[in-house]
Amino acid sequence: MNVEPLAGTTFGATVTDLDVRSLDQSSFAELYDTWLEYALLVFPGQFLTTDEQNTFAKRFGDLEFAAAPISNIDADGNVFHQPDDDRVKSLRGNEGWHIDSTYMPAQAKGAVFTAEIVPKDGADTGWADMRAAYDALDDATRDKVADLTAHHSLYYSQGRAGYLPTKRKEDGSYGMYGYHDFDVSVRPLVKIHPETGRPSLSIGRHAHNIVGMDPDESVAFLDGLDQAACQPPRIYHHQWTAGDAVIWDNRCLMHQGTPFDMTQPRRMWHARIAGEETELALNHSEALSTEHLPITQAR
């Protein structure tokens, strides 16, 4: 395989001359080590089926959920763009920088993301290197974040952005993935990668209410960390072509969607790799099953 580091950034690589469907164990071990080094790998022109995507993702660990559509298209091919549609709200919420499933008892290990239908313009996906962001902190800020913890909630992030779902069940709940009734996860602001040992910032739009800090001060501090972290050369935005596949390490990268004309159809597929014991929130002593939480296009 050919590995070409992404130019002008602190992370990421494009991998060519490789079919991820047919990796022997030795080749996969090499690819896994490359993933740990670069955190984001881009595979142009793979054209994976959802079954092939799931099979590839499972080589990195158990799945939090199998390939699910991230899309403004329903099962009948209708395109949704109205601001009050829950599909649109979910997509718009994802435009904020975040780390997947920090709002769950166990955050995700990573994800395999593929492009099936892409619009003419926009809809890039961005990633940000939280290892390099931690390294760039001044000494005073590094000392300050060392012992801080924050809550993580999808209710908080979608509510703050004004994108909470419109539809509710009879009991008042949303009935969509991530809107659960578990205790709100509490996580350190500094995460140590379980395999590389590198520290990184664990922040993003789901993080809120730093423990022991005034709420207004917490908002300002977290917003400041997000803004400072997501700057060149620590960011990369990928312009999708149908057939592209990527895998990223959710334990050290943040990511975001970007706007596009939602009158145009877009369908991506997201297979999320489940976090291991190292990804449990501080207040969750064991991983809880998420099978009862439905995956819907309104994610």
Element (H, E) at 247: strand 245-249
Q: Which residue has the higher pLDDT, 145 or 294?
A: 145
Residue 277: Cβ within 10 Å count: 10
Say if residues 155 and 161 touch (Cβ distance below 8 Å).
no
What is the rounded CA–CA span in Å between residue 111 and residue 54? 10
pLDDT average, residue stretch 44-69: 98
pLDDT average, residue stretch 149-157: 98
* Residue among 100, 222, 228 nearest 149 (CA): 222
For residue 82, what are its two tokens? Answer: 């109205």
- 160-205 pLDDT, tens per residue? 999 999 999 888 889 899 999 999 999 999 999 999 999 999 999 9
Residue 142 buriedness (CB in 10 A; 0-12 / 13-18 / 19+): middle
pLDDT on residue 4 = 98
| Domain spanning 2-279: CATH superfamily | Clavaminate synthase-like (3.60.130.10)
Instruction: Find the radius of gyration of the CA atoms of the chain.
Output: 18
* pLDDT above 50: residue 294: no
For residue 88, what are its two tokens? Answer: 């649109």
pLDDT on residue 287 = 58
- 79-124 pLDDT, tens per residue? 999 999 999 999 999 999 999 999 999 999 999 999 999 999 999 9
